[in-house]
Amino acid sequence: MKFMTTKVKNRIYISGLLIFAFMKNLSVLEKIIAVILLLTVIYAIYVFFTDSSFFDRLVEEDGFYENLTSIFLFFTSFTLLFKFFKYQKYYGALWKVGVLLMALGMFFGGGEEISWGQRIFNVQSSEFFKENNAQQETNLHNMVVGDVKLNKLIFSNLMSICFGIYFLVLPLLWNRSAKMKKLIDTFGISVARPIHLYIFVAITILILVPINHARKWEIWEYAFALIMFLIVYNPLNIKEIFSKENPS
């Protein structure tokens, strides 16, 4: 059993207070989702300090947090598809392409996270994936090309850059540049609100600082998936991209 220091406890307390303070302008559903996120992350920290073997099971392949990540990525994809069919007649071709691509990306992420249900349905990998996948699973993010692991090159390095642009740069461009605002809205890209960024930063610090474990990123990915659902559900530009009265 590890010892949870007073500093860690204070960080949990402060992060919780900040998230609750940020939630005052959220809808009931958004508040429920945010509370679920906070409680599940605090639970992970508690288990990490009290039962290391159980924590290992929580963050293992097809474990609790990996399955939650997949579920919320699928929820995000289905939410986008629902909005696509509800509003598609009010927008142009580029909006349709943008929304469908984002829905496809979220669905792909959800499927990859659980290796497309390979272990759930007890499906064996083909010889191709056995030879070219680092974990011999039916997915792309663990593929190895030569000596290069796609998981590190694309799904870690490049995706980190993309996420940084999406969460930090995109909202600034949308707010400060009329041309970029129009371009972003034309493609139906959901822009994160400040509340989403605040929660994401608070949760990231809460996860990465106290938890010293190789698979702590599974919890971070879960937090990312859940916040992506919140963004798509109620983005900063909801009136511009999900409205029957298209302002453009």
Cα four-point dihedral sign 209, 215, 218, 221: positive
Confirm if 143 and 133 have CB atoms less than 8 A apart.
yes
Considering the domain boundaries, does residue 116 fall inside one?
A: yes
Which residues on neighbouring strands pair with residue 143, listed in sequence order? Answer: 133
Considering the domain boundaries, does residue 220 fall inside one?
A: yes
Considering the domain boundaries, does residue 77 fall inside one?
A: yes
- Total domains in the chain come to 1
pLDDT tens track, the chain, 248 positions? 565 667 666 667 666 666 777 777 788 999 899 889 989 999 999 999 999 999 999 999 888 999 999 999 999 999 999 999 999 999 999 999 999 999 999 999 899 888 888 877 777 777 887 777 777 777 776 777 766 666 655 555 677 788 889 999 999 999 999 999 999 999 999 999 999 998 888 888 889 888 999 889 899 999 999 999 999 999 999 999 999 876 55
Considering the domain boundaries, does residue 107 fall inside one?
A: yes
Considering the domain boundaries, does residue 72 fall inside one?
A: yes
Q: Side chain identity at 150, as an amino acid letter? A: L
State residue 148's pLDDT score: 64
Cα–Cα distance measured from residue 71 to residue 132, given in angstroms and rounded to the nearest whole number = 27
Considering the domain boundaries, does residue 247 fall inside one?
A: no
186 closest CA partner among 231, 234, 241, 239? 241
Q: Whole domain around residue 113: which residue ranges?
A: 6-241
Distances (CA, A) of 61 to 57, 65, 68, 112: 8, 9, 12, 12
State residue 130's pLDDT score: 75
DSSP H or E segment with residue 97 = helix 93-113
Confirm if 135 and 144 have CB atoms less than 8 A apart.
no
Considering the domain boundaries, does residue 122 fall inside one?
A: yes
Considering the domain boundaries, does residue 1 fall inside one?
A: no
Question: DSSP E strands: which ranges in 138-188?
Answer: 144-145, 148-149
b/e code 3-27 from CB counts within 10 Å (16+ = b): eeeeebeebbeebbebbeebbeebe
Cα–Cα distance measured from residue 172 to residue 175, given in angstroms and rounded to the nearest whole number = 5
Confirm if 226 and 33 have CB atoms less than 8 A apart.
yes
170 closest CA partner among 141, 199, 190? 190
Q: Side chain identity at 54, as an amino acid letter? A: F
State residue 76's pLDDT score: 97
